[in-house]
A and B are shown apart, each in its own frame.
Chain A
Amino acid sequence: MSRALFLVLGAGILLALILVPFYPQVIYPVFVMRVLCLALFACAFNILLGHTGILSFGHAAFFGSAAYFCGYMLKEQGLPPEIGLLTGVASAAVMGAIFGALATRRSGIYLAMITLALSQLVYFLFLRLPWTHAEDGMQQIPRGVLLGVLDLQNDLTLYFVVMVLTLAGLALVHRIVHSPFGEVLRAIREHEPRAKSLGFPVARYKILAFTLSAALAGLAGSLKAIIYQVASLRDVHWSMSGDVILMTLLGGMNSVLGPALGAALISSLYHYFDALGGWVTIMVGGIFIGCVLLFRRGIVGELHAVLSERRDAKASHDEKENENATN
């Protein structure tokens, strides 16, 4: 995609996001905040899947525990939201490091199963901990005042805080992926033994990728707890891990922001078809199967392929013209 088009698109989305809270009759701002959180979650997840070639089936553990720990600080300790956010991110990062250290001892399919099992362990912990209220979840988490000035009780303030933080998170994902560190991750994805023989401490890189991905997923989870004022078992459940995989797969895992598009689509599906109950699960499963069988590159990947094909065709066409001209 050309840079100009990219900038125009980005500016358009930014403008639309800024306008959202002023037109609640068009689109529900809380829904947009949810999409922003899940977009950050999916892009953070994609640091592992798309850029390191690691499938984690346990990302709900990071998202959900951040929500719980953030909620714990705000509700049980009565601390301000910045502490809640920091605690959420830090707990997710620590958990990511532990998951990474254990799971990267194996690779591929086993790694996926290990992360799934570990996340189930986390799920049971939150089911049992006394302050999580088991099936009821943590409810009525107070939003508080961010940094002593920004009152998050105010919906408009909340919206812009969430917008700025999630966009900053997405920018950070972009930065990580395009840094030398990100290059090493891709080298590991493409050819792990070679990356190792080039002298990169592959294991440490993988664990760091896990930690960063988990920390950013934790930011998304903490924000979710503040927006909805709820942290529940649904957030740590394996179906959440499945959802984030689907968002990434659908949007396109070989792009930086494709997963954000996937997040928007899947959360719209849940939002607008909520009344259908079990049918939504069937639809999500169907999309999953469709993505795996038919377009593994995802929407952005396919678009990119089509565009570059056209560009190539045009380039070769121009070349022929030039040849004809010289003859």
Chain B
Amino acid sequence: MIEIFGVPLVALTGQIMLGIVNGAFYAVLSLGLAIIFGIVKVVNFAHGAFFMMGAFLSFLLLDTLGIGYWGAIFIVPLIVGVLGVVAERLLLRRIYGLDPIYGLLLTFGMVLVIEGGFTVAFGSSGQIYTAPDQLRGAVNLGFMFMPIYRLFVIGAAVAICVATWLVIERTSMGAKLRAATERPHLTQSFGINVPLLMTLTYGAGVALAALAGVLAAPIQNVSPSMGSELVIIVFAIVVIGGLGSVSGAAITGLMLGVIEGLTKVFYSEASTIIVFLIMAIVLLVRPAGLFGREEG
């Protein structure tokens, strides 16, 4: 058996692959956080709650309406996106212009309401959601067996990140978005409906979170608290990478997933805290974050 630093190669590659899968979720979530923060100027604490909602809704669609995975992957982000638009119009809209701290607190309140609601309705224990038939089983990659579903998640996450990047960097919609991020008032005076743009961005951002939730449903325990643990890690990732750059957020997310996986191999006790430790070190060495600009 091939070993590297006393660790079997199979275990090593296995954990790296798992790390990439986790990193894929981190990437999609921090990407959404960065987009929302860029234009809406709110750090969306509820991102994890919308992620959880995504996973839960796909479970519910299957359980009550018999709509399977492939339906859910399109319907769920749409539903959650609409909910996000409603939340932005009813709640977030009222605190624009205030200290961004209030945005964090408001969305934290939303987390409590959403998580509490799901706990009341479905209990705090988890639900099982199985992957669709087409994605079951595993493939032999030569050096290891990889479940097909995990490969699918990695591919989907990369596709999401690239697509989002293309939309932001290469379309006129994205150009308006970037303009509104930099100079909202000036953009508005060019006749671009910035408030509408903000609403849609929030909706799209949380739809991305819900999409990540659908992807996570078959490989995680679907429970009301699955989002908040994750969102705290994503916050640390965002501190490391900086909210200023969308691609920076995605790359940092993926990278930290891999580092977490490696930690599991070499010193598993530290795997739950490694992201936070790295955050502390980055703060000491480079307070603005790896891709960050000094915030105003």
Chain A residues proximal to chain B, CB less than 8 Å = 55, 57, 102-103, 105-110, 112-114, 116-118, 120-121, 124-125, 127-128, 238, 242, 245, 249, 277-289, 291-293, 296
Q: Which residues of A contact B99 (CB under 8 A)?
A: 108
Determine the main DSSP class of B at the interface with A.
Answer: helix
Which residues of A are found within 8 Å of B269, using beta-carbon distances?
Answer: 128
**Is B120 touching A278 in the complex (CB atoms < 8 A)?**
yes
B106 touches A285 (CB 8 A): no
Measured in the bound complex, the distance between the Cα atoms of B223 and A278 in whole Å is 14
Q: Which of B104, B114, B120 contacts A109 (CB 8 A)?
A: B104
- B112–A117 touching, CB < 8 Å: no
Contact between A292 and B105 (Cβ–Cβ < 8 Å)? yes
Contact B116 A112 (CB under 8 A): no
Determine if B115 and A109 form an interchain contact, defined as CB atoms under 8 angstroms apart.
no
Q: Is B108 a contact of A109 with CB atoms below 8 Å?
A: no
Give every chain A residue within 8 A of B91 (Cβ-Cβ).
289, 293
| Docked complex Cα distance between A121 and B184 (Å) | 37
Q: Which of A57, A118, A128 contacts B280 (CB 8 A)?
A: A118
State how many angstroms separate the Cβ of B176 from the closest Cβ of chain A.
25
**Cβ distance A179 to chain B, nearest Cβ, rounded Å:** 25
Tell whether, in the assembled complex, residue B116 and residue A285 are in contact, meaning their CB atoms are under 8 Å apart. yes
Least CB distance from A280 to B in Å reads 7
B65 at the interface (CB under 8 A from A): no
B109 at the interface (CB under 8 A from A): yes
Chain B residue at minimum C-beta to C-beta distance from A293? B94
| A286 CB, nearest partner CB in chain B, Å | 6
Q: Could you name 9 residue pairs across A and B whose Cβ atoms are closer than 8 Å? A: A102-B280, A106-B283, A113-B235, A117-B233, A117-B239, A285-B112, A288-B108, A293-B94, A293-B95
Give Cα distance in the complex from A116 to B279, angstroms: 12
Shortest C-beta distance, A64 to chain B (Å), equals 15
Contact A289 B283 (CB under 8 A): no
Q: Which residues of A contact B120 (CB under 8 A)?
A: 277-279, 282
Choose among B106, B117, B228, B288 the residue that contacts A289 (Cβ–Cβ < 8 A).
B106
Between A and B, how many residue pairs show CB distances below 8 Å? 131
A125: chain B residues at CB < 8 Å are 273
B236 within 8 A of A: yes
Q: Is B246 an interface residue (CB 8 A)?
A: no
What 8 pairs across the A-B complex have the smallest Cβ distances? A285-B112, A288-B109, A281-B116, A285-B113, A282-B116, A278-B119, A278-B120, A121-B276
Chain A residues, CB < 8 A from B239: 106, 110, 113-114, 117
- Give CA–CA (A116, B238) in the complex, Å: 12
Bound: A34/B294 CA distance, A: 42
Report yes or no: B295 in contact with A110, Cβ–Cβ below 8 A. Answer: yes
Q: With A113-B239, A124-B272, A124-B273 in contact, do A289 and B113 touch (Cβ < 8 Å)?
A: yes
Nearest-neighbor residue (CB-CB) of A276 within chain B: B120
Residues of A within 8 A of B100 (CB): 108-109
The answer to whether A278 and B116 touch across the interface, beta carbons within 8 angstroms, is yes
A102-B283 contact in complex given A114-B239, A117-B276, A282-B113, C-beta closer than 8 Å: yes
Q: Mark B266-285 against chain A: 1 for CB-CB distance below 8 A, else 0.
A: 00010011011101100110
Pair A106/B287 contact, Cβ less than 8 Å: yes
Given A108-B295, A113-B236, A288-B106, 15 more pairs with CB closer than 8 A = A55-B104, A57-B104, A105-B283, A106-B283, A112-B101, A121-B276, A128-B269, A277-B119, A279-B116, A281-B112, A282-B113, A285-B114, A288-B112, A291-B109, A296-B102
